[in-house]
Chains A and B, each alone.
Chain A
């Protein structure tokens, strides 16, 4: 079994949310099988800024499901979408 690196895009609830606070909550919300690599800000439009969360999970049952679920529960996070997945060598 290998590892998979996923890029998960978090959209904020509004342009006014506290991104630093969301980032902190992301760190705290990682399930056991996932390893947070980094978080990048992506400006979208009209003041909205998305967060791209790069995580490593096993190439195994469940995929990114648990991470997606935890991330979507974070305050001020609108929706959560996996935009890229690929295996690590």
Chain B
């Protein structure tokens, strides 16, 4: 019997109009996900098919397509074409569907654009450690090797600044229109010796479930259920929770015993990362804990921060950010206002180099290291200890103004 393929969530990112949707469409088409649309003469009928789809497809079909799976020889991929607008960044950080890898699409005729930079920063913040660079629209420059190499150098320098290693990353010359280098190497780019996109996807490593990290369960809701007792509900981010475990909730500081765990209305003896569970705890009242608290084991309890140091990127702010600014940080299920205590330095997002120590202010487009103080106790973890618990979005005036990660913290106790 065929072994079930491992699954990966693959995000498509890049500046608007660089060809993400077209590329995703092409992958799905080749994978047979757009089955009813027959292609007569292979891939270069693609433009025609996309147009046809645009006219005729029903909403239900498009929605199903957006959730379609694509099989490479090795993996089963779910493809996520990321929204372009910044107001969705909050959902990408606090929502459940974490991308395991990304394809950054850069069009050869347009080059590195503001959103290209922003998405590179964001993907790092979102914990996406594996990336492929798709240099798209090669047909517009006659598949010119020199132009490809210029852009490759530029994007390579950019991704290096956030810690990707350009030498380990595939840069693939593509035409999402013509289908070059998507499933097989194209005759139009004889100078390109690397793998086609589908082959490169198979070089990704499937993520391991973070079962060895300390237990962290951000609480979504707390119920008092007749005949059962107190039931917190949440998703296991890291570690394993077993029946009869003692758990501590922070910042509430209360402990209890896990009497039973359920998922999909079925009893579990233990729950692991990704499981959405409700668990009955003895010794904890409904009003002792609340949304935003985090459950862990008492021997490695969730970290409550008095202050923390963060690396942020300012996505959109109508004015400037200065010391004293107190927007709301959305981190796991918690929403806590935090005050900017210190602007440590400002970096050039294009080079990653420190541009200014102790700047007076930050504005849209800036990347920076800052120190902040939560206005009330809050659980957050250092990104290098428990990456799943170290990311946040910063919201103010109904907008996502920045995104970032915790790189250091001062414990509250």
Q: Provide 16 A-B residue pairs closer than 8 Å at the C-beta atoms, listed in order of the A residue.
A: A6-B91, A11-B220, A37-B63, A45-B231, A45-B265, A56-B63, A59-B88, A62-B87, A62-B398, A63-B85, A65-B398, A82-B94, A88-B63, A89-B24, A89-B25, A89-B62
Bitwise interface map of B from 81 to 116 toward A, beta carbon under 8 Å scored 1, else 0: 111110110111011110000000000000000000
- Distance in angstroms between the alpha carbons of A53 and B96 in the assembled complex: 15
Q: How far is the CA of A3 from the CA of B277 in the complex (A)?
A: 31
| B66–A45 touching, CB < 8 Å | no
Given the known inter-chain contacts A44-B265, A83-B97, please indicate yes or no for A11 contacting B221, CB distance below 8 A. yes
* Contact of A45 with B233 in the complex, beta carbons under 8 Å: yes
Cβ-defined contact, A61 with B88, below 8 A: no
Number of interface residues of A (CB under 8 A): 36
B148 within 8 A of A: no
Q: Are B225 and A46 in contact (CB under 8 A)?
A: yes
A14-B223, A46-B280, A89-B25 as given contacts; A60 in contact with B85, CB under 8 Å: yes
B263 touches A45 (CB 8 A): yes
A85 touches B291 (CB 8 A): no
CA distance A65 to B88 in the complex (A): 9
CB-based nearest A residue for B60: A37
Smallest CB separation, B108 vs chain A (Å): 22
Residues of chain A lying within 8 A (CB to CB) of residue B50: 89
The proximity string for B residues 165-195 relative to A, scoring 1 for CB distances below 8 Å and 0 otherwise, is 0000000000000000000000000000000
Considering the chains assembled together, what is the distance between the CA atoms of A78 and B66 in angstroms? 28
The 5 closest A-B pairs by CB, nearest first: A45-B278, A45-B262, A63-B87, A87-B81, A43-B265
- Contact surface of A with B, Cβ cutoff 8 Å: 2, 4-6, 11, 14-15, 35, 37, 42-48, 54, 56, 59-65, 78-79, 81-89
Contact status of A44 and B59, CB under 8 A, knowing A61-B85, A63-B88 = no
Inside 8 A of A42's CB, which chain B residues have their CB?
Answer: 264
B191-226 Cβ-contact flags toward A at 8 Å (1 or 0): 000000000000000000000000000001101010
Q: Which residues of A contact B85 (CB under 8 A)?
A: 59-61, 63
Q: Are A43 and B264 within 8 A (Cβ)?
A: yes
- The distance from the CB of B50 to the nearest CB of chain A, in whole angstroms, is 8
A14 to B231, CA, bound (A): 11
What distance in Å separates the Cβ of B128 from its nearest Cβ neighbour in chain A? 15
Q: Which B residues touch A87, using CB under 8 A?
A: 20-21, 66, 81-84
Contact status of A84 and B96, CB under 8 A, knowing A46-B228, A61-B87, A89-B66: yes
Q: CB-CB < 8 A to A79: which residues of B?
A: 220-221, 291
Smallest CB separation, B87 vs chain A (Å): 4
Q: With the chains together, A37 CA to B66 CA distance in Å?
A: 13
Q: Nearest A residue to B84 by beta-carbon distance?
A: A59
Q: Which of B60, B83, B95 counts the most A-chain CB atoms under 10 A from its CB? A: B83
